[in-house]
Structure 1
Amino acid sequence: MITYITDCFDGNARARLSTRIGALFGQSPTVVAADGPDPESFAALTLLDCLRSLELLGEDGHPTITLLNIAPRDGVWPNGVPFCFFWHGKHLVASTFNARVLSLVRRELSIDHVYVTDIREAVTAAGFGADEIEKIATTQFRSLWYLPLLAKWVADGRRVPATETAVPEDLEDGPVVSVVDNFGNCKFDCGPDSIGFAIGETVPVAGRSQDGTLIVTDVTCYRHLTDVPRGGAGLIVGSSGTDFVELVIRGASAAQAFGLRTGDAPLRRTSVEYAA
């Protein structure tokens, strides 16, 4: 089973990624689009959820491979951030070395070190010729030409030059909306204790009106979605992360009603910040 979470998800990119991975592994991946205004937060929670979904199988299950690419060209690294890999039990993750993307597996799964690779060094060690090395090391689409190779080599047990590196602590002071699901529920990147969640109590939630005005609403905490009055808003312990909190409206879209999107921080007690 191969899952690829990426911010390169247009039809052309999906076709190339699926074809290359199919040629390398004999199966095409499930490509998950990290879209919206905050792809890093979406990718962080989705990666955590993928690894958490491997628990409670009732049996050993099969090894999985998760690839993750969120690599803005921010000028800090030449041609983008490097790629890394780590294992969670028998399950392999190959990813861009991005502190925010790795923040939730660091916090929730104690994955505090990963193996960071240098593309040119890794491809050279694999025996590619000079022209091939140059193409793979300098391409704009490194998540196509290199990341699938890295995952294949590591999965096959081949030696890949890499440096064990601590995952930096994410300085984001959260919580933020990481995922808006297809029902309009807003999934946060934190558990109940982070926001003073208590059944029957209220928590102030900031939202946007249609004209952009900030509106703060006291929202009641409930145990389950079915406890929320129909048409009413509630904060519940949802299905993502390690019992992370969700903002919901039973029978309607909380994201639409509150004017929220990924990257927004409507639960912060000291200030409210929204993604640009």
Structure 2
Amino acid sequence: MITYITDCHDGNARARLSIRIGALFGQSPTIVAADGPDPESFAALTLLDCLESLALLGEEGHPTITLVNIAPRDGVWPNGVPFCFFWYGKHLIASTFNARVLSLVRRELGIQNVHVTDIREAVSAAGFDPADVEKIAGTQFRSLWYLPLLAKWVADGRSVPSTETAVPQPVDAEPVVAHVDNFGNCKLDRRLDLIPGRSLPVAQRNDDGSTTIVDVTCYPHLTAVPRNTPGLVPGSSGNNFTELVIRGGSAAAAFGLRPGDTVLEPVSAQVA
């Protein structure tokens, strides 16, 4: 099974990614759109959840391949951030070397190091002629032309030139909304120390741009939250990462929150 998490997900891009990966692997990928205002936090949580879902299968299970492409052209790297790969058990992940995207698998799964590749070096080592090497290295759509090749070579056990590199440890910032699900629940990027019955101050964004601090009660699970009432509960993502919910309503709409928004006052962010 191949899953591709990418911020390049329009119809044209999906078609090209699907047919290229289908030709390389004999199966088309499930393409997951990393859209919204903070694709990095979405990709980080989704990658972690994909890998966490491989635990406790109750069966031997099949190897999987996960590709991740979140590569803003920020000018730090020539033609964008490089690509890397690592293994989680028998499961292969090939990704852009993006510290925020890799931050949760680093923290939760202990992925301390990855293998960073140089496109020109890797494609040259695979025997491509110089003109094609430059085409692949210089294209705007490297996640189409290079990343599937990298995953194919590594999955097939071919030697790919790479440098083992530590995943940078991000500065420990305040909890943020990593994803808003279709119910309007706000999934945070970590597990907070929730004591049922106590409350934590949550920042509500108002239409006029002001912020109101609302004391939100902690509950042991979703069904303990009174209907139409906000609550903080252990969620389904990560290691029981906290979710801000309104049972029967949308917490995101009620609190004016989007992915990337901080949620709590700094003194209140008690992480378990």
| TM-score in terms of structure 2 length | 0.97
- The residue type equivalent to 1:55 in the other structure is A
Separation of aligned partners in 1, 2:45 and 2:172: 14
Show structure 2 runs of 5+ residues with no match: none
Structure 1 spans left out of the alignment, 5+ residues? none
Question: Deviations 1:207-266 (Å, cap 9, x if unpaired)?
Answer: 111222211100000011100001100000000001100000001110001000000001
Check conservation: 1:175, 1:268, Cα contact below 8 A: no
> Is the Cα–Cα contact under 8 Å of residues 185 and 243 in structure 2 kept in the other structure?
yes
What residue number does 1:65 align with?
65
Instruction: Give yes or no for contact 1:174–1:189 (8 Å, CA) kept in 2.
Output: no
Listed one character per residue, the Cα deviations across residues 81-122 of structure 1 (whole Å, up to 9, x for unaligned) are 000000000000000001111000000000000000000000
Asked if structure 2 preserves the Cα contact closer than 8 Å seen for 1:222 and 1:228, the reply is: yes
Does 2:151 match 1:154?
no
Per-residue CA shift, 1:169-188, capped at 9, x if unaligned?
01251210001000000000
Task: Give the whole-Å Cα distance in 2 for the aligned partners of 1:143 and 1:174.
Answer: 31
1:204 is aligned to 2:206: no
Number of the residue aligned with 2:91: 91
Output the CA distance in 1 between the equivalents of 2:267 and 2:133.
50
RMSD: 1.2
Alpha-carbon separation, structure 2, partners of 1:32 and 1:271: 33
In 1, the alpha carbon distance for the partners of 2:64 and 2:168 equals 25
SS of residue in 2 equivalent to 1:154: helix
Task: Summarize the Cα distance change of 1:77–1:271 in structure 2 as closer, same or farther, 3 Å threshold.
Answer: farther
SS of residue paired to 1:100: helix
What letter is aligned with 2:87?
W
SS class of match (1:123): helix
Partner of 2:33: 33
Query: How far 1:271 sits from its partner (Å)?
Result: 9.7
Provide the residue aligned with 1:104 in structure 2.
104
Partner of 2:226: 229
Aligned residues: 269
What is the TM-score when the length of structure 1 is the normalising length? Answer: 0.96
SS in 2 for 1:135: helix
**One-letter code aligned to 1:238:** G
Whether contact under 8 Å (2:174, 2:266) holds in the other structure is: no
Instruction: Provide the identity percentage.
Output: 75
